[in-house]
Structure formats: structure tokens, C-alpha cells
Amino acid sequence: MNDLSSQNTDRKKWMSLLAKAPEGRIAALLDTATARPGFDWLRAPEVGSVMVRGRMGGTGDAFNMGEMTVTRCALKLGCGTVGHGYVQGRRKACAEAAALIDALMQTQAAPRIQAEVLDPLTEETEARQTSRADKAAATKVDFFTMSRGED
């Protein structure tokens, strides 16, 4: 049971990373790392929406905010391994690459995919976030007191 949930934690991590990768990036990394294996569609790529929810007051009950576009698909490799792809936006090719990576990560190809696709993608994502956070940090206000009246 423990093992299963740690597997899920890892899978959640890579699927989340793939969902947010820039257009075309995961396909490029995948094709550099390996030749694409053959597969059958369980669900051909489809574009749809997800209703995004917020919380009243940030912490209260949920309310519906509006939708976002999502593309998803599911496929089965020759060996029977199933891969799911969920990516933000209208990007069928990205969803297909994401599902292939999800499937390959459950096979013996996992270390290679991890090293050549997921690790570089993680680094790029972190670099983008850090660059933005650093710009925000430069706009942080340092208050200082000019003078203070006596008593």
C-alpha cells in the first residue's frame, strides 16, 4: 500500500510537470531521448474544458470561477502499459507526447526518460519560476523610519 502511494506521488509529480510544459517542449525532449514506441489509442486526443474553482474568502467553501482549456488522451503501448496525458491548453501533440512519457515512465525506459526528459524539464521550469520570483523580490518594499517625534 505504501509502495503504491509513493508510486502515485511520483506519477503525480511527472504528470503535473508535463501538463505545464511550454508548447512543443516535451515532444522535442522525448524525440531526442528515444524513438517513439508503437501504441494504440484508448482515448484519442480531445480538447475540452475544466471548470476552475476558487474558495470564498480564499479559505471558505468553493465557488465556480470559470473554465480553462485542457487536452487529454490515453494510450496503450505494445507491452500493455497505459499512459495518460493531460496538458493545459489546446495542444494535441503535447498531450500525445505526455501520455507516451507517462507510459514509458512505467517501463524499463524510466531512468532514461527521467534523466533526458523530466530532469531537464524540471530545471527549465524552476529557472523560469526563479527568474520571476527574483524580479518580484526586487520590488519588495523596505520601509525605514525617517524620524520619530519625541514621546
Q: Which residues bind other proteins (CB under 8 A)?
A: 8, 11-12, 15-16, 19-20, 41-44, 46-70, 72, 74, 76, 80, 82, 84, 86-90, 129-141, 143
Region class of 89: left (phi > 0), else alpha (psi between -120 and 50), else beta: left
Give least dist CB 71 to other proteins, A: 10
In whole angstroms, give the CA distance from residue 87 to residue 15. 9
Q: How far is CA 111 from CA 54, 74, 118, in A?
A: 37, 22, 10
Give least dist CB 101 to other proteins, A: 13
Residues in the chain: 151
Give least dist CB 132 to other proteins, A: 7
Give least dist CB 41 to other proteins, A: 8
Among the listed residues 39, 110, 26, 36, the one whose alpha carbon sits nearest the alpha carbon of residue 81: 39
Give least dist CB 110 to other proteins, A: 17
CB closer to other proteins, 26 vs 70:
70
CB closer to other proteins, 140 vs 148:
140
* Close Cβ partners of 39 (under 8 Å, ≥ 6 residues apart): 75, 76, 77, 78, 83, 100, 103
CB closer to other proteins, 135 vs 148:
135
CB closer to other proteins, 32 vs 43:
43
Phi, psi of 47 (to 5 degrees): -95, 135
The answer to whether the beta carbons of residues 103 and 39 sit under 8 Å apart is yes
CB closer to other proteins, 31 vs 133:
133
